[in-house]
Amino acid sequence: MKQCIKSSQKPARLATAGRSALICKAVSAPPSTKLKAGVVHGQDLVDLMQHAQKNGYAIPAVNCTSSSIINACMESAKEVNSPIMIQFSNGGGASMAGKGISNKDEQATIAGSIAGALHVRAMAKYYGVPVVLHTDHCHKKLLPWFDGLMTANEEYFAKNNEPLFSSHMLDLSEEPIHENLDICKKYLTRMNKMGLMLEMELGVTGGEEDGVDNSGVAAEELYSKPEEICEVWEALTPIAPKGFSVAAAFGNVHGVYSPGNVKLTPSILGNAQKYIKAKHSGSDDKPVFFVFHGGSGSSREEIREAISYGVVKMNIDTDTQWAYWDGVREYEAKNRGYLQGQIGNPEGPEKPNKKYYDPRAWTRKGEQALVARMKAAYEDLNCVNVL
């Protein structure tokens, strides 16, 4: 369900570089679409991923560090009538726990991620859209964090017949591919019993995020090979068909970049889909759910091209961080005279300022700015009014 139009317009964002290209205009999905609202897992999550591929859109996944940001993300999804992915990085989990807690043995990151998930669980149903509850990059050294979350999922599953989260990511791209796959297979076997989806990373996403710096990585490591992607598909499909996604590298990088400074090759993804279909004589044109990491600096055309090759999820972090801060910054600039003390402002020396410095006032401005930024992201991802 997508329309394609010839356009040389500059995209609304993530970047403003434009080339005359065939781009896809967001249109509504069929009115009969029956996707579950609230936190999804298992077959409901697979249905959502397949719906995204079929209808030519990707779902934004936002790294969240507070309940305020979580709520703003779900608010944006409600306003555009589309799904949302709420995810926590290891550092985001620590932030949810509070910096006053020791993180010995990953106890703060585990507790904070669980707390964030429980908040999403409590609130998601009120926003009326599908919500995917996810954790981001887990490198080998962070496996104790992953293990703690797996225990939490199993305990939640025993009581509720569903896992606490929808999915988790293992990022073992720095390890040899055989080790990467062995560990992924081990965890996916455990996860599949609860209907948890696994996201795995293949190749390296450049740049820096959450304390992991890949800015000096060799250029060839930024591009996955179809044979490698097929190897992942062959290893994980017998365990959980459609129960995993692949964050393959096609030149994408984390961080802040001006348009034109990121050299993406989305066709790598399309070539991999064709390779797998041909090798296994399959009928599915898009056997792999792909994930797009490091989207800052990418043009709308590049994003839409990646989606056309089977990308169903795109991570957003840097731009939403700035948007939230920018909303707060603008509020402070506008009301500076009322924010210099509890009493005394341009209206008089005895005038109170409580309504200006109340955190609910300025955090709301951050939320509203984030919602506005997310609406632009939804447009880029062809994900407006898809429910």
Between CA 238 and CA 247, with CA 244 as vertex, the angle to 5 degrees is 130
Question: pLDDT per residue over 36-57, tens digit each?
Answer: 999 999 999 999 999 999 999 9
Domain membership of residue 114 (yes or no) is yes
Amino acid residing at 142: L
Between strands 167-170 and 38-39, the pairing is unpaired
- 385 assigned to some structural domain: no
User: What pTM did the predictor assign?
Assistant: 0.87
Any idea of the CA torsion for 217, 218, 220, 221, to the nearest 10 degrees? -30
DSSP per position, 329-344: HHHHHHTGGGSSSSEE
Residue 245 confidence class, pLDDT cut points 50, 70, 90: very high
Confidence band, pLDDT 50/70/90 cuts, at residue 204: low
The answer to the question of residue 264 being in a domain is yes
With a cut of 60, say whether residue 295 has pLDDT above it.
yes
pLDDT digits (tens, 9 = 90+) for 3-16: 443 333 333 334 43
The encoded tokens of residue 117 equal 């998930």
Between residues 87 and 1, the one the model is more confident about:
87
79 domain-assigned? yes
Going by C-alpha positions, the residue among 199, 29, 200, 197 that lies closest to residue 129 is 29
Domain of 168, CATH number, reads: 3.20.20.70
- pLDDT band at 298; cut points 50, 70, 90: confident
Whether pLDDT at 135 is above 50:
yes
| Ranges 16-25, 61-70, 220-229, most confident | 61-70
What number of other Cβ atoms are within 10 A of residue 18's Cβ?
16
Q: For position 256, what pLDDT does the model report?
A: 52
pLDDT one-digit tens code per residue, 344-377: 999 999 999 999 999 999 999 999 999 999 999 9
Q: Do the domain assignments include residue 386? A: no
pLDDT over 70 at 64, yes or no:
yes
Q: Chain-centre distance of CA 94, in angstroms?
A: 18
In a domain, 387, yes or no: no
Q: Does a structural domain hold residue 214?
A: yes
Indicate if the pLDDT at residue 321 is higher than 80.
yes
At 47 the pLDDT is 98
- Report the pLDDT averaged over residues 207-235: 71
Mean pLDDT value across residues 302-331: 96
pLDDT score recorded for residue 18:
35
- What residues contact 105, with CB distance under 8 A and at least 6 apart? 144
Up-side HSE of residue 51: CA atoms within 13 Å toward CB?
A: 23
Q: How many folded domains does the chain comprise? A: 1
Question: Which residue range(s) make up the domain with 145?
Answer: 3-380
Res. 161 pLDDT band, cuts 50 70 90? very high
Per-residue pLDDT averaged across 123-133, rounded?
A: 98
Q: Which residues are catalytic?
A: 136
For residue 50, is it left (φ>0), alpha (ψ between -120 and 50) or beta? alpha
CA dist list (Å): 69 to 26, 50, 75, 312, 327: 25, 27, 10, 22, 12
Angle of helix 67-80 relative to helix 318-334, nearest 10 degrees? 100
Report how far residue 384's alpha carbon sits from residue 77's, in angstroms, rounded to the nearest whole number: 9
Residue at 354 is within a domain? yes
Helices (H), the chain: 42-55, 67-80, 90-97, 107-123, 143-160, 177-192, 226-236, 267-279, 300-308, 318-334, 354-357, 359-380
pLDDT tens, residue by residue, 114-127:
999 999 999 999 99
261-292 residue pLDDT tens: 557 899 999 999 999 999 999 999 999 999 99
pLDDT at residue 257 tops 70: no
- Mean pLDDT for the chain overall: 88
